[in-house]
Structure 1
Amino acid sequence: MLAYPSAPYLTTEALTAFIRAALAEDVGDGDHSTLASIPAEARNRARLLVKDEGVLAGVALTRLILQEVDKELEMTELLPDGSRVRHGDVAFTVAGPARSILTAERLLLNCMQRMSGIATYTAQLTAYLAGTKARLLDTRKTTPGFRLCEKWAVLIGGGVNHRYGLFDMIMLKDNHVDYAGGITAAVQATHAYLARTGRQLAIEVETRTLGEVQEALTVGGIDRILLDNMSPAQLREAVALVAGRVPTEASGGITEAALPEIAATGVDFISVGALTHSAPILDLSLKAY
């Protein structure tokens, strides 16, 4: 287990499985460009150049990628994850078999550019919440197969992870509520399911109106209320109605410009899918020197 107590999904097993799958996708039966042009005995070095401004992420993952490709590769970290970087900074150097450096290059860059972009955007949006109690949450709107890295990047950028998947929290969204016959029926069925299966999972209920907020409070036995697509005025009313009995989460079409006003309503969390589905990459390059 790696030393990330706030992220239980970051296990050695999960990271190794991700890296091996990614290498299998990229390398296939061999990095033939490298095998054809670079002598097996060649040894070289390279450095990770920052060509943009933002928050660095993926350094710890890169160390694992390099070790998976070739344990002879030696990485010297100069800037850790979470560092504020600008054009011209060098994040790390790597030395060892030249073939291995070239084979690892694209995977580590793909991961670091994407993760750094997400961390940068998360930090940017988190700054809008200054002076309020609101915390920025990610969502499950992630890239299939890359969720681990995307959610890790949100943490590095100062955000908070929501549930990792469908298995680690119960979230009764609008379709669940409508299919079940209402909030009361959905929550009661959920408690029966948890008792029947012996599971202990937090329950969050999505609400669309103040009436649904009241119904969620009346049925009880829930751990968070999601306030979906509500205006700032409605959010303030909902927060007053909840009165601190359970945490509240604002969600649905939240824009960067709206964040300060939404945070000021008193909600505990604001979930933004754009953190993982719309963040631009941070420009990075691995160069021989």
Structure 2
Amino acid sequence: MPVKAKLKKSLQTLKKELQEKQERLLNEWDQTKRDLKARQKLFGRELKAKQDEFLLEWDDVQERSKERFDQWLDRFDIDELQGMLDRYKEDSEPLEPIGDNDVLRLLPEPKQLSMTLQEALEKRRTSRDFSGESIAEDKLAALLWAANGINRKNFKRTTPSAFNWQDVSLYVVQANGIWKYLPKRHALLFIEGKDQREHFGEIKTWMKLASQHIVLVSDARKTETFSTKLIEKTFKVDFSEGEMNERARAINVGAKVQAVYLAAAAMGLGCTCRLLVDDSKARKLMKLAQEEKIMAICSVGEHPASIFDHVI
């Protein structure tokens, strides 16, 4: 066979093989597409089935959660729930509520405390030596802010409070009357207009020389919150009364007392904490509710320049 004819035959054979391979590849690709489409439909049906199953399960979860929440709410009486809601609403307000006839005295910016914590701790001590002179208002503002001031958003305070009760309020007894510190307003609310310091420091002579008595009062009503009630209903541990309640409230007061001590040390003021007071007389003067309890008193004032620097 001539070379030319032989080459032509080989090319025809190769062309035929290429055509056959191309057809096989096309057939395989068509089959692959059909398989993919079939699998896609199957996956879609399975996904839809799973989705429907999940929705049914989620509906069941929601229903069970609602039932359990309703069961939990059923453990409370309506007055108990309303009281907690009212207190939550009051605590969430941007400013403390006041009456139309209430008298406020805005405090200046607290005096800046430049002393380090190390130095303040070293200088912290109980001092019963006072000159009898009133301390500057920016120093009083610093004492009150250190103990119960707002230092970040959501009305969080400078001192810790168990369960965030914020049950402790500060009252200032000074020459121009009795005032309640309002942290959100950084102001004093007028309570009583006469100088009543003698009724808060009559036990010892040196107490009469303190320019201010900071009275720490805990309100038992603020300890009845959703969190404490949830613990009570779930774990049978009652934080709203009894020993656990007293312990938590004492811790809250102690944190504020230490803050007053440290701020006083940082500003060179004298400070002493005590528990004894004519409770019935003091409560009447401060117009306290039955649920409010005097927990401690911090007497503060300037140090005397000498042992003769006293006015009795």
TMscore range, shorter length: under 0.3
TM-score normalised according to structure 2 size? 0.23
Larger Rg: 2
TM-score normalised according to structure 1 size? 0.24
